[in-house]
Structure 1
Amino acid sequence: MTDFYDTPFWAGHDHVFLGAGHETNERKTWAVIGICTAMMLAEIIGGNLFGSLALIADGLHMSTHAGAMLIAALAYTYARKHANDRRFVFGTGKLGDLAGFSSAIILAMIAILIAYEAIVRFMAPVAIDFNEAIPIAVVGLLVNIVSAWLLSGGDHGHQHGHSHGHAHDDHGQDEELRRIETAVGVVELSIFEDGVPPVFRIALEGGNSSLSAENVTLTTIRPDGARQQFRFAQKSGYLESNSEIPEPHGFKVTLGLPGGVHAVEFEEHAHVDTHGVDTRDHNMRAAYIHVIADAAVSVMAIVGLLLAREFGWLWMDPLAGVIGALVIANWSYGLIRQTGATLVDASSDSRMETRVKAAIEEAGDKLIDLHVWRLGPGHLGAVLSVVTQKQERNSSFYHSLLGRFKGLSHITVEVHPVGTIHFDI
């Protein structure tokens, strides 16, 4: 017998897995489309009139860039409007990755086209009207800079780090600290986790004297009856447990001190977990790469035109096109790999897999199957199977246990009581 749990779509659990800046990025993209469309026409016409391959290449890429921007903008709009459409089983968060993949393919095609045209121009150089071509290339670069500025501020990287927030009660007391009246004075028992794995610390209030590690015992008792004993090491002015405290931090504590045994309780506080998942918006990333690629081609065009004018090196113009093509091809390849992996549900976050496995094992159970995949920017889904010796544990227990992980937005758990599956635990 197994217990299967997945919060149903119709039971108050939404499937909106869009990035945090989705609507803002959508507006930025539409703005860039207008700017680039106007510049696209100027560069293509100017390049043909003045015979500059680099300028034509920049204009051609600007045209595909405008088209790619349109793909990105439509993807944003469609994903937002259909975020709650039940036809999308896991939401529309991956539409941005699909748009990014499409843009990367367009980038690759343009790189091939520019390289081909450059080879033709190497073989048959064309006269260039430098005084007309160079100003247009400069204007093209300025447009790219403005576009990059408009698209900047999006999340193109990863979010990392770890911190735990500490709530306080109505009297300002830290929920991680317990003061206990004992025969040897007021003892402060705390859970310390400032930049280190959580451990217990014990000290006498005021630090007038220290306790002896040999005379202190501590046992945690969790809601399911699980017990864990902690040993302590002597530190400067306090005692610290030799082993870390498994999550969650909700349990009763029996503390043995000289003169008696004392009982206190810790409740699981609200963690501010910033073990961030990948929050990159690949749709915006693709749009941004298009702009930067345009800027790179513009720079190459300007350099090629200036050198060709000053030294008569007409081959510098097609060479600039080749260099620009290589740069675009490299960025395209990286974007194809990233978005393609998401589209085929490749495991995208080994750190989250490790954390889920650790949480299950710390709870005394065995994880026998786990799949973690990206649902959208900053959102991961997880499907797992667990073998447990605790008959009272159902899937809701594990859903609560794992729900504290930031970015793990959709959890499906299958629970196997030990004995119902042939597996050693």
Structure 2
Amino acid sequence: MAIASGFGTGKHGDRAGFASAIVLAVIAVLIGYEAVSRFLSPVPIHFGEAIPIAVVGVLVNQASASLLSGGHHGRSHDHGHGHGHAGHAREDEVQKIFASSGVFTVSVFEDGVPPMFRITPATEHSRLDSSAMTVITVRPDGTQRVFAFADRGGYLESKEDIPEPHSLKAIVRMPDREHEVEFEEHEDGHDAPEAATRDRNTRSAYIHVLADAVVSVLAIIGLVLARMFDWLWMDPLAGVVGALVIANWSYGLMRDTGAILLDMNPDRRMAENVRHAIEDRGDKVVDLHVWRVGPGHMSAVVSVATSKSQRDSRFYHALLDRFKGLSHVTVEVQPAHAVA
């Protein structure tokens, strides 16, 4: 299978982040070395000069952190990827229906993927049956469309995505009767999963600023205690603690950016949706790999076995082109009998 060797400059930010992580590690080592040296060989401390300088450092770093945070980069290192599949629909997009087989929620799910209908049990004893449930959409102009469902293990998902616009009336046909719900159009600023859009370069700069701020705060605490109680050992102790904190941040940043540079962070949710989009149309995914190539951009390499001779790579490119954030796709198509 031919795989393109170049994916643009999307990982430059991650390379810069990895380099920043190394610099942070070096800084942690130097601070730790200096602190231990002062434990072994105490030196005179000029409190009148050191404390004001440390205070100014905290103020400057606080201002810098505010500029860099943008409401996103100050979060913890690990934004878990194990979100529940049905947990991304907003509360006002979820409709509840009561049927003889139980209580269910019906939602339009579109978090980084083509919008799909999802039907999820709302109570423990609600029973799902993909063959007995369909949704009929009714547009304002009177046009209708029928959506069949596939069982995803714990919830049902429509086999086809919902065309724009998403302001529509939906008739949920269940074994007991038909249930009518309505959905309104919403602006959605999340064009790609958050894991794919985070800028590690900005994050590394933010961590640098936080590291400086932490060291300054610890220095102030150590200097004040040393001056008040003559605890000269507090100053090097604050340095050791600061070195450990910075080393921990450095490790987290190095781990995250290193995984991206080595293509070790597959996006399982996007891979699952790509697989379903292909296999729901009667084909088989032989091999699939989805990974992040830059902020807001992912790449996919997929090998498909099909018994339909009219389907070539262009068919699957068009199929996957609707996935938000999937910027580069490589497809190999082979006859189904070749992999039987």
Q: Where does the alignment leave 5 or more consecutive residues of structure 2 unmatched?
A: 91-105, 110-116, 120-132, 139-143, 150-154, 164-184
Is the alpha carbon distance of 1:219 and 1:376 closer, same or farther for their aligned partners in structure 2, counting shifts above 3 Å? closer
Structure 2 counterpart of 1:246: 159
SS in 2 for 1:197: strand
Is the alpha carbon distance of 1:392 and 1:321 closer, same or farther for their aligned partners in structure 2, counting shifts above 3 Å? same
The Cα shift of 1:391 comes to: 1.5
Structure 2 counterpart of 1:361: 279
Say which of 200, 208, 211 aligns to 1:282.
200
Paired residue type of 1:303: I
1:258-308 Cα offsets, whole Å, 9 max, x none, are: xxxxxxxxxxx9x96756252110000000000000000000000000000
The 1-side partners of 2:214 and 2:289 are apart by 40
Is the alpha carbon distance of 1:330 and 1:142 closer, same or farther for their aligned partners in structure 2, counting shifts above 3 Å? same
Structure 1 counterpart of 2:240: 322
TM-score between both structures, scaled by the size of structure 1? 0.56
| Structure 1 stretch displaced more, 151-160 or 112-121 | 151-160
Structure 2 counterpart of 1:197: 118
Is the alpha carbon distance of 1:422 and 1:415 closer, same or farther for their aligned partners in structure 2, counting shifts above 3 Å? same
1:343 aligns with 2:277: no
Structure 1 counterpart of 2:30: 113
1:397 aligns with 2:315: yes
The 2-side partners of 1:392 and 1:288 are apart by 52
The 2-side partners of 1:134 and 1:401 are apart by 62
The 2-side partners of 1:380 and 1:346 are apart by 13
The 2-side partners of 1:324 and 1:103 are apart by 17
Paired residue type of 1:412: T
Q: Identical aligned pairs, as a percentage?
A: 59
The 1-side partners of 2:137 and 2:252 are apart by 54
Structure 1 counterpart of 2:213: 295
The 1-side partners of 2:200 and 2:52 are apart by 33
Structure 2 counterpart of 1:332: 250
Q: Where does the alignment leave 5 or more consecutive residues of structure 1 unmatched?
A: 9-87, 165-191, 205-217, 221-227, 231-241, 251-268
The Cα shift of 1:155 comes to: 4.4
1:213-251 Cα offsets, whole Å, 9 max, x none, are: xxxxx996xxxxxxx978xxxxxxxxxxx964202458x
SS in 1 for 2:118: coil
The 2-side partners of 1:343 and 1:336 are apart by 10
For the 8 Å contact 1:370–1:384, the answer to whether it is kept is yes
For the 8 Å contact 2:22–2:250, the answer to whether it is kept is yes
1:76-125 Cα offsets, whole Å, 9 max, x none, are: xxxxxxxxxxxx82110101111110110010011111111111100111
Larger radius of gyration: 1
The 2-side partners of 1:111 and 1:229 are apart by 57
The 2-side partners of 1:201 and 1:349 are apart by 29
The 1-side partners of 2:137 and 2:227 are apart by 79
Paired residue type of 1:147: S
TM-score between both structures, scaled by the size of structure 2? 0.69
Equivalent residues in 2 for 1:176-215 (5 A)? 193-194=107-108, 197=118, 200-201=134-135
For the 8 Å contact 1:94–1:343, the answer to whether it is kept is yes
The 2-side partners of 1:327 and 1:155 are apart by 21
SS in 2 for 1:383: strand
Paired residue type of 2:118: P
SS in 1 for 2:330: strand
Say which of 19, 24, 48 aligns to 1:102.
19
